[in-house]
Amino acid sequence: MFDNSTFKDKVALITGGGTGLGKATAHRLSGLGAQVCIASRKLEILQSSASEISSETGNAVLPLQLDVRKYRQVEQVLAECVDRFGQVDILINNAAGNFIAPTESLSHKAFDVIVDIVLRGSYNCSLALGKYWIGANLPGDILNIITTYAFTGSGYVVPSAVAKAGVLNLTRSLAAEWGGRNIRVNAIAPGPVPTTGAWERLVPDPNLEQDMLQRIPMGRVGTHAELTSLAAFLLSDECRFINGEAIIMDGGEWLSGAGEFNFLGSLTAEDWTELAAKIKH
């Protein structure tokens, strides 16, 4: 459904773009014609990723050091992107942090770190880009990467759940306010999509991974290609009437967990025969 001109003449700024899903998305958009700025705190990793992506796609990738928690740095990165490419059309708020732990074992600083990166970082970047687009009377697109438990909450990842819920609200609020300015704000809520860094912190034991797979009706995790395809679709000019939407992409995991009787999927045919005999019609 895409070709290498889908994002021709478009410039994308991706936070957390040097590794994991951010890097995968940067690679996908670059391969579809975009000029890309990738930003995070570790410049050496960014430079390596930028060189790798650019050599494979033939399009320029600009690595820029950024701590999304610091608004002035966000403004500086935006200025450098505009200076290099002339404009910025797309913002992807992907920078994040997360780990599993009993909440009572956390210090207040653990909350601060996660909430600052995820929520403060997202609104810092959104505010800077929004001011830029509105001030210059330009259209824009923001895509926030959230998670399924942004809707429901989740134990053992409470700082992330709080922060991602805030980003979900930010998505809907800005979509309503800025839609009339031709600025769209959408989100993707992925289920399990393995990346090296996140997987080591969230699924450190193979047994946990098996437990996770049993919750997913499709019986597998998602892939980078699937997520980046959805991102490219949402950001393309082919669907500009989508605004304020948060699309869940989890193989049915969320719905499976929400259904009161979905646990019956573990029953065998013999179990059902036995139960049917006990049910009074």
Quote the crossing angle between the two packed helices 121-136 and 71-85, to the nearest 10°: 50
DSSP-assigned letter for residue 236: S
Eight-state DSSP code of residue 91: E
Measure CA 32 to chain center: 19
Residue carrying the six token digits 């082919």: 238
| Coil/strand/helix, residue 148 | coil
Integer angstrom CA distances of residue 6 from 138, 180, 225? 19, 24, 16
Tokens representing 71 are 């608004």
Residue 192's SS3 state is: coil
71 catalytic? Reply is no
Options 71, 123, 149, 156, the catalytic residue: 149
Alpha helices in 62-157 (DSSP H): 71-85, 108-115, 121-136, 149-152
| CA–CA distance, 242 with 186 (Å, rounded to integer) | 8
In single-letter form, the type of residue at position 168 comes to L
Q: Of 55, 70, 60, 66, whose CA–CA distance to 16 is shortest? A: 66
Report the largest interatomic distance among the alpha carbons of the chain, rounded to a whole angstrom.
74
Q: Report the distance separating Cα 11 and Cα 34, nearest Å.
A: 6
Q: How far apart are CA 192 and CA 178, in angstroms?
A: 31
Catalytic residue numbers read 149
